Amino acid sequence: MNAKQSLTKLWNDLGLPAEALDRVALTGADPALPSSFHVGQMAQVSIGAAALAATELHRRRGGRAQQVTVDARSAAIEFRSERYLRVNGGEAPELWDKIAGAYRCGDGNWVRIHTNFPHHRDGVLKLLQCEHSREAVAKAFESWSAEKFEDAAAAAGMVVAKARTFAEWDAHPQGAAVRTVPLITLEKIGDAPKLSVPAGSRPLENLRVLEMTRVLAGPVCGRTLAAHGADVLRVISPNLPTIDVADIDTGRGKRSAHVDLATSEGRSDFRALLQGADVFVQSYRPGAVAARGFGPKDAAAIRPGIVCVSLSAYGHVGSWAARRGFDSLTQTATGLNFAEAEAAGKTGLVALPCQALDHASGYLMALGAITALLRRIDEGGSWHVRVALARTGLWLRDMGRVADGFAASDIDFAQAADRLATYPSAFGTLTAVRHAAEMSETPAQWALPSAPFGTHPPRW
């Protein structure tokens, strides 16, 4: 399936107008990055679909129809946007904690651990009963089987994945469950009148997006909606750890506020924000926001007509529906890392050349949000959009493989210079990736610079 066929299927599955497909061009081809998978194709299709949906919403609001063009190389670079971020011309950012990564266990199987957040790091070290060094962690894993450690970590609320082949994942109950859901799930969750959207000069102008997300897919969704003109307010508790490089990169176009749902004041502020929002995007662990009284149906009762967008690691059905996870772990659990290693002629695990599941899921979330906004205009109602990293990984897998994909050259900072731009911000001068979707009438742009959390009040 080539890029245009993949986009056409995605578009048609969402019931979007077929004639809009005549206005999109997907240029270039894989391998855009060294990989045996169609990473470039997935990038240009997900980015292009979100942009095309934005143009359709703009047209429905009285704007002119416009052309969208997405190049595979440009899209692949945007899928690694956090890698190219520079602050005041400084060094490349460190993206991983020193013990994060893959380890062989005593039974010969592999696990991957994610330790970028301190509580996840400390929890894994507590289970392993060792110090914070790669050598100590590797030694400790010799006393564990991979599956037992994966289960123990999940029970303790940690984020760990046993490495599986495609065949092993397909035979796993959660692998089977993931195949039962669509790539993007749209569900009407409440009644509300049809709502018109005031016209604007940009596709999502005059639409408010409340974002409560963590790295990386959720923030990419908010950044995408902001690129098309939405008023995006990202909120986070002042007590939660953050990852500066990802937050700075994905913070373009957004205001950033502190809201603590553990306090009555924070819940009051959040309720007021929901009442004024058109879209609510959240990517916390499944059930966490609902436990505070702000799940999708709660939000629909507070603000009839709202579009709620939720991300999970392994899908909203099956025994792993509540399991925590990140892109790197989902790649490992679902077979992608073993498949890459086999194609590369290497033993162990080989990761995709970017956090492709995160980035693609972010654009799919944005696409789902815009599709639901169009449904809201046509049908009314409140809507719930669901996207899962594991289902996005299955989408990549179903695109097929790239012959000699590892013959492609990597794209370093200097080679990506034509896709970079400089932006002033409270952090200093940022060098960051430009949006890959070229739009003939409403070029994507971020009207606001990245700002530290707490810079803005929790108000519209």
DSSP one-letter string for 49-80: HHHHHHHHHHHHTTPPP--EEEEHHHHHHHTT
Contacts for 396-399: CB closer than 8 Å, 24+ residues apart: 396/37, 396/38, 396/39, 396/42, 396/336, 396/356, 396/357, 396/360, 397/37, 397/166, 397/334, 397/335, 397/336, 397/339, 398/1, 399/1, 399/6, 399/37, 399/38, 399/41, 399/42
Q: Measure the CA–CA gap between 326 and 127, rounded to whole angstroms.
A: 19
Q: Which residue has the tokens 């009207």?
A: 447
Q: Which of 305, 59, 308 is nearest to 203 (CA)?
A: 59
Q: Which of 205, 225, 206, 201 is nearest to 435 (CA)?
A: 225
Tell me the per-residue pLDDT of 186-217, one tens digit each, with 9 for 90 and over. Answer: 999 999 999 877 778 999 999 999 999 988 99
**Segment holding 209, helix H or strand E:** strand 208-212
Within a 13 Å sphere around the CA of 193, how many CA atoms are in the beta-carbon half?
3
Q: Measure the CA–CA gap between 362 and 388, rounded to whole angstroms.
A: 10
The amino acid present at 418, given as its one-letter code, is D
φ and ψ at 203, to 5 degrees?
A: -55, -40
> 140 and 130 in contact (C-beta within 8 Å)?
yes
pLDDT at res. 220: 98
Tell me the per-residue pLDDT of 300-347, one tens digit each, with 9 for 90 and over. Answer: 999 999 999 999 999 999 999 999 899 999 999 999 999 999 999 999
**Beta-strand relationship, 110-113 and 101-104:** antiparallel
261 pLDDT band, cuts 50/70/90, is very high
The amino acid present at 146, given as its one-letter code, is A
Q: Which residue has the tokens 């639409």?
A: 207
Query: 92 or 8: whose pLDDT is higher?
Result: 8
